[in-house]
Chains A and B, each alone.
Chain A
Amino acid sequence: MFSALWQSILEWLQTLFFQQEMELTILGLQNAGKTTLVNLISTGDFTDDRIPTVGFNMRRVQKGGVTLKMWDLGGQARFRTMWERYCRGVSAVVFVIDAADEDRFETARVELQDILSRRALDGIPVLVLANKSDLPGAIKDVDEMVDVFGLKDIHNHEVSVYSISAKNSTNIDVTLQWLIDHGSKKASSSTAAAVVSAPDPPSTSTIPPKPSS
């Protein structure tokens, strides 16, 4: 009896203080740097040379009054069919691309378009991250990314693109800010608001500042 009561009081307190809890799903082909990014966000350290994620990783992080729950999914082909199951009802989907791996851009585009065309994901804001901008030959131009990945053709999502480097921590701060903003928006207003704002052409409103380096 008492423990149940105590539990409910605790939960109520929790909702007061940690109102802003957001769920993120991080997708992308294998070796795009998803797990590295998640580790960077949660620990602040860059760790290289990760073994491939078999299945998924789950991370909880407190950032600026928002609790981030990150589902970091494996990028190998056998896991891509399962992505959708972890995208339903999340606050945002982050799609990580290896900007230096031009050969797999096409595959990444197909996978991105495919997952975003699912009805279950309608209205969920999407953040596309072109990772590894520190590598030579990496695409850093955001407009080019929008063209290559056909981001203008996506209509039922709010799509933003950033060029980042997890290794050099380039643009990680803006990424975090984007995430926190979308988390709070979702928590404070309703999901409907996100849907309404979706049809905006993404390139204009969401072009990030040019990388400083």
Chain B
Amino acid sequence: MVSDERALAKMKDEDLILSPFDGIEKGAVLQECRIFNDLQLNTRRCEQVLIRLLYLVGQGDHLSSEEATNVFFSVTKLFQANEPSLRRLVYLAIKELAHTAEEVIIVTNCLTKDINSDVDMYRANATRVLCKITDAQMVQQIERYLKQEIVDRNPVVASAALVSGQQLIMHNKGDVVRRWVNEVTQALDHKSPMVQYHALALLYLIKQHDRLAVSKLVQSMCRQGVRSPMATVLLIRYVARIIADEPPSQVQDAYGEPRPFFGFLEACLKHRSDVVIYEASRAIANLPNVTPTELQHAVSILQRFLVQPKPSLRFAAIRTLNQIASTMPLAVTSCNADMEVLIADHNRSIATLAITTLLRTGSENSIERLLKQIQTFLSDIADEFKVKVVSAIHALCIKYPSKYYALMNFLGNALREEGGFEFKRAIVDAYLGLMDKIPESKETCLSHLCEFIEDCEHTQLSTRILHLLGKEGPSMPEPGKYIRYIYNRLILENATVRAAAVSALSSFAAGSASESLRKSVAVLLRQSLMDSDDEVRDRATFFSKSLGLEAYQKHTGESRNPEEVSKMQEGTKNMLSLPCPIANLEAELLLYVASGNSEQAFDISSVSKAAMMSTAGHPTLETGDATNRQSALGRAQRGRPTPPADLAAEVLKVPDFTSLGRPFKSCPPKDLTEAETEYTAQVIVHLYESHVILEFVCVNTLNDQLLENVFVQVDTSAASGLGGMTIVPAARLAYGEPARNYVSIERTDDGEYPLGDLACTMKFIVKDVDPSTGEPDEEGYEDEYGLDDLPLTISNLMAKPAELPGSFKAAWEALGPDNEVADSFLLEQHDNVASAVKGMMALLGMAPCEGTEVANDRARGHILLMTGVFMPGIQVMLHSKFTVASDGVNLEIVLRSEDLSISEVLANSITGTE
């Protein structure tokens, strides 16, 4: 008894358990492998050495090619022994060494012999090893054995051959495998489920690049049915893949009628095997654009799984439900009762998924109860899940703003919990998001965050919160209470946080007119003037000076008059805020440094305030369906240019235009030709204060022509505000290589904006080329090619600001009513609000604010708020109200800007009857 207990105690102490694999060393094992060469083999010892060798390789110990080759050849000597257990280890060893050792082909003959033996275990294993070591050329010689094995009666042998076929295909040795279709099809009817499964997988792999063949295979399999559950699961996956690959247009055509294969999926929901049922419901849940009706049956199946005793089933079901809930919460609400039970599940992963699903599907009145339940187990789960819970709560807060108080309390508690950086950051992010969306929550948010930084180990989060306090604190009803928290940071934290605290503290002095507040800030800052860290000291000194706080610090007693103070505050604020987006500033600075011209000082006011356009908005490349993707691919192959990330990158390189600097705005590329024409041209419009530069990107798609001196002639007679032009032609336009040419048009001084249509004609000299040699003819002739007109509209002149205002209302008030223009129109061309909103956005090219760009099709009215930067950097804001009228859409606009004439130009550009 006693010894038993001792043994148990030993077992518990994990350090004391000796693994049979302890202390295995590569050198020793390689030494031991020499016994394989002994004249008289000791098979038992050989087995043990092989096991050690396999362990070593399995643990990732690297054998050099030479070591592996030596060991491998020793192992081949073991083919003389006939013990099944030793032979099996030999197979494994060869498979493991096959990649590193050289000349592994030497065992081919031995393995072929084993394949032809009458021991099924040898046959199956030898097949797998043989396919592993063979090369593409050798496969031909062993093909007939494999083909025979595929139709073998023994399931182990047949499966080994089928799986080996897959391996061959995956390692690009599979050309012969494609000839096995007959045998593999025969194996589909094998009585063993395993063989059916492997046969289907191989058949699919053989045909996978032939869409039609795959679809035929799947169709016939669906019809005749498969007996093996695993094969059915596979079939469901293939069906799902076919449906997902189908171009969406076809799905739309079949609107109303059930989509192809849906009947099969539904039938699988009635299968007797759980795996199949689950796979089918998962496939249905993942259908593109799945409708609630289609989902209904699958959801009810998953609901049944939720109460199964097997944890794997519950987990699978709740995971899929969770996925559905993220897009269609309503479809899952029927499972709410069952999911609530799962919150108490032993398995934490199931419980967490249940919670996050419920948070999405739950109704407003169940939130508080849910929160209480989460609270109890939040500390038990992994950070990754905690982050998920937090983001679910965040989403919920925005959905039900009235519940913010309860949710916020939950977040506050969560902040106090143990947790890693990711978790805390998710919470802080959630707070920031909430403050934006729910203004009344601001005070609670700030006080929670203040508490958090009292005991926060993450410098990054502390500085972020301090910055926030500096920004929001001064405008709160009781600014004084935040100062205490900030001051604590000054005393207790590291230099980075202290510096942030100084800035935050100073912003209270900068943002408040109260004499006493300024005074206390000055006193608090005094000690930072002597801080050990340079940055902290610099900041403290700077703010003390610029805000006029030294007076208090030196006890001179004299106070400044309020006017002077507010002037100083204004000055400090201006100094701290950049007049332009950082990305633009960075690009300009890089350009400045690259130019090497350090004589001239960098002028920050020349940096554009507009957001830089990026490729993300390029429409043709974004649509994901197959046909479009293919044509996009085809274009790229034909040398169609893809726009560079910085649209102005090319024009900045042209020597003639460097004096102009960076354009105010570069519009996204616009096609001036159809896609499939002899020559294609795209234009990028660059707008400058004094010029408009058109960058034409031309492609010659004829391989028997070389174009020279290519330029585009632009007729400006139908446009306003444009004067003389300069042309920079492209010297040569060879087949398939895009070339750029430019037209620079001066703008007139009369205050007219460049608006109207420009007629464009491409002119060039053609030289015929012999496509086979690529040699052009000596003689060329002039020719021209008509391009589409290029319209210049208001939206060309308008840029979207880099950062949207946090509050439209505040920015609107700040702009003031001085240059306000109000007008109303009847838009007859639109019959619903949504299309009118879309039209308005396209017309003006401004950035919509506060999510007002989404209008419901059936809404009677809508308010659209937009902001933009008009050439050459004038802020414009628009408040527009749409209402449905009997004969169109009524539009009332109020435009504010920094320039009255611009407000008028914009208002005039809106077409409609007044």
Q: Determine if B37 is an interface residue (Cβ-Cβ < 8 Å).
A: yes
Q: Is A103 an interface residue (CB 8 A)?
A: no
Q: Does A149 contact B (CB under 8 A)?
A: no
- CB of A206 within 8 Å of the partner chain: no
Instruction: Note all chain B residues with C-beta closer than 8 A to A85.
Output: 73
Which of B40, B79, B103 meets A58, CB within 8 Å? B79
CB of B835 closer than 8 Å to a CB of A: no
Q: Does B109 count as interface, using CB distance less than 8 angstroms?
A: yes
What residues of chain B lie closer than 8 Å to A21, measured between beta carbons? 39-40
- Distance in angstroms between the alpha carbons of A4 and B42 in the assembled complex: 11
Q: Is B514 in the interface zone, CB < 8 Å from A?
A: no
Q: Contact flags (1/0) for B30-61 with A, using CB distance below 8 Å?
A: 00000001011010100000000000000000
Q: Is B113 an interface residue when CB atoms closer than 8 A count as contact? A: yes
CB distance from B98 to the nearest CB of A (A): 14
CA distance A51 to B80 in the complex (A): 21
> For the complex, what is the distance from the CA of A85 to the CA of B103, rounded to whole Å?
12
Query: Contacts of B39 on A, CB cut-off 8 Å?
Result: 21, 23, 89
Q: Are A56 and B80 in contact (CB under 8 A)?
A: no
Q: A21-B39, A85-B73, A89-B37 are in contact. Are A57 and B80 (CB under 8 A)?
A: no
Q: Is the CB of B44 within 8 A of A57?
A: no
Determine which of B37, B42, B44, B138 lies in contact with A54 in the assembled complex, contact meaning CB atoms within 8 Å.
B138
- For the complex formed, measure the closest distance between the CB of A115 and the CB atoms of chain B, giving whole angstroms: 16
A105 an interface residue at 8 Å Cβ cutoff? Answer: no
Chain A residues, CB < 8 A from B112: 54
Q: What's the Cα separation between A79 and B141 when bound, in Å?
A: 17
**Distance to closest chain B CB from A134 (angstroms):** 26
A74 touches B109 (CB 8 A): yes
- Would you give the shortest CB distance from A176 to chain B, in whole angstroms? 20
- Chain B, Cβ-Cβ closest to A53: B109
Which of B73, B109, B138 touches A82 (beta carbons < 8 Å)? B73
CB-based contact A88/B73 at 8 Å: no
Could you tell me the distance between the alpha carbons of A27 and B331 in the complex, rounded to whole angstroms?
75
Chain A residue with Cβ nearest B133: A55
Answer whether A56 and B76 are a contact pair too, CB < 8 Å, given A21-B39, A74-B109: yes
Residue of A58, A74, A78 contacting most chain B CB atoms (<10 Å): A58
Q: Known contacts A54-B138, A69-B80, A88-B37; is A11 also within 8 Å of B109 by CB?
A: no
A60 interface hit (Cβ, 8 Å): yes
Residue B382 lies at the interface, judged by CB distance under 8 Å to chain A? no
* B530 neighbours in A (Cβ, 8 Å): none
B37 x A56 contact (CB < 8 A)? no
Closest to A70 in B: B80
A7 interface contact, C-beta 8 A? yes
Q: Chain A nearest CB: distance from B138 CB in Å?
A: 7
B73 touches A54 (CB 8 A): no
State in angstroms the CA–CA spacing of A42 and B820 once bound together.
108
Collect the chain A residues with CB atoms within 8 Å of residue B349's CB: none
Contact, CB under 8 Å: B73 / A56: no
Residue on B nearest A89 in the bound complex, by CB:
B37
Binary interface profile of A, 61-90, with partner B (CB < 8 Å = 1, else 0)?
000000001000010001101100100110
For the side of the interface on A, what is the size category?
20 to 34
Mark contacts of A4-45 with chain B using CB atoms, 8 A cut-off: 1 yes-contact digit, 0 otherwise: 100100010011000001010000000000000000000000
**Complex formed: what's the CA distance from A58 to B106 in Å?**
12
A53 to B40, CA, bound (A): 26
CB distance from B892 to the nearest CB of A (A): 87
Contact for B105 among A55, A58, A88, CB less than 8 A: A55
Are A79 and B106 in contact (CB-based, < 8 A)? yes
Instruction: Tell whether B110 is near chain A: CB-to-CB under 8 Å.
Output: yes
Q: Does B512 contact A (CB under 8 A)?
A: no
Q: Chain A at the B interface: mostly helix, strand, loop or mixed?
A: mixed
Check: B108 CB closer than 8 A to any chain A CB.
yes
**Is B73 touching A57 in the complex (CB atoms < 8 A)?**
no
A58-B79, A69-B80, A89-B37 known; A11 and B42 CB under 8 Å? yes
Contact between B103 and A82, CB atoms less than 8 A apart = yes
CA of A14 to CA of B44, assembled, Å: 16
Nearest CB on A from B103, distance (A): 6
What's the Cα separation between A55 and B73 when bound, in Å?
11
**Nearest CB of chain A from residue B324's CB, rounded to whole Å:** 55
Counting CB contacts under 8 A, is B107 at the interface?
A: yes
Q: With A and B bound together, what is the CA distance between A7 and B46 in angstroms?
A: 14
Partner of A56, one of B42, B44, B110, B138: B110
- Chain B residue with the shortest CB-CB distance to A81: B103
* B44, B105, B106: residue with the most chain A Cβ atoms closer than 10 Å: B106
Contact A55 B109 (CB under 8 A): yes
The contact string, 1 if C-beta is below 8 Å from chain A, for chain B 68-80, is 0000010010011
* Least CB distance, B384 to chain A, in whole angstroms: 50
Tell me the smallest distance from the CB of B101 to a CB of chain A, in Å: 12
Interchain CB contact under 8 A, A60 and B80: yes
| Residues on the A chain within 8 Å of B76, using CB | 56
Residue numbers in B under 8 Å from A51 (CB-CB): 141
B109 touches A56 (CB 8 A): yes
In the complex, chain A residues whose CB is within 8 Å of the CB of B113: 57
A11-B42, A82-B73 known; A57+B110 contact, CB < 8 A? yes
- Tell me, in angstroms, the Cα distance from A15 to B103 when the chains sit together: 35
* Chain A residues in 8 Å Cβ range of B106: 55-56, 74, 79, 82
With most chain B CB atoms within 10 A of its CB, the pick from A53, A55, A60, A88 is A55
Inside 8 A of B40's CB, which chain A residues have their CB? 11, 14-15, 21
Could you say which residues of chain B place their CB within 8 Å of the CB of A79? 106
Q: A91: nearest residue on chain B (CB-CB)?
A: B39
Complex formed: what's the CA distance from A90 to B105 in Å? 22
Minimum CB distance partner of A7 in chain B: B44
Q: Is the CB of A54 within 8 A of B141?
A: yes
- CB closest chain-A residue, reference B73: A85
Please measure, in the bound complex, the distance between the C-alpha atom of A33 and the C-alpha atom of B195, giving whole angstroms: 41
Minimum CB distance partner of B40 in chain A: A21
Distance of B859 from chain A, by nearest CB (Å):
77
Closest to B72 in A: A85
Give complex CA distance A187, B763 in Å: 96
The minimal Cβ–Cβ distance linking B141 to chain A, given in whole angstroms, is 7
Residue of A nearest to B76 (CB): A56
Q: CA separation between A15 and B42, bound complex, in Å?
A: 12
Complex: how many Å from CA A54 to CA B42? Answer: 27
CB distance from B449 to the nearest CB of A (A): 70
- Cβ-closest chain A residue relative to B78: A58
Query: A60 → chain B, closest Cβ, in Å?
Result: 6
0 or 1 for each of A116-148: is its CB under 8 Å from B? (1 = yes) = 000000000000000000000000000000000
A contact residues around B80 at 8 Å (CB)? 58, 60, 69
Does B105 lie within 8 Å of A54, measured CB to CB? yes
The residues of A that contact B107 with a CB separation of less than 8 Å are 55-56
Residues of B within 8 A of A82 (CB): 73, 103, 106
Question: With A and B bound together, what is the CA distance between A193 and B109 in angstroms?
Answer: 35
How long is the Cα–Cα vector from A82 to B109 in the complex, in angstroms?
14
Determine the residue in chain A with the shortest Cβ distance to B142: A54
Contacts of A60 in B (CB 8 A): 80
Residues of B with C-beta under 8 A to A4:
44
Enumerate 27 A-B pairs (CB-CB under 8 Å) in ascending A order.
A7-B44, A11-B40, A11-B42, A14-B40, A21-B39, A21-B40, A23-B39, A53-B109, A54-B108, A54-B109, A54-B138, A55-B105, A55-B106, A56-B76, A56-B107, A56-B110, A58-B79, A58-B80, A58-B110, A60-B80, A74-B106, A78-B105, A79-B106, A82-B103, A82-B106, A85-B73, A89-B37
In the A-B complex, the 8 residue pairs with the closest CB atoms: A54-B108, A55-B106, A55-B109, A55-B108, A85-B73, A58-B79, A54-B109, A58-B80
Given contacts A21-B40, A55-B106, A89-B39, 7 further A-B contacts (CB under 8 A): A7-B44, A11-B40, A15-B40, A54-B112, A56-B106, A57-B109, A82-B106
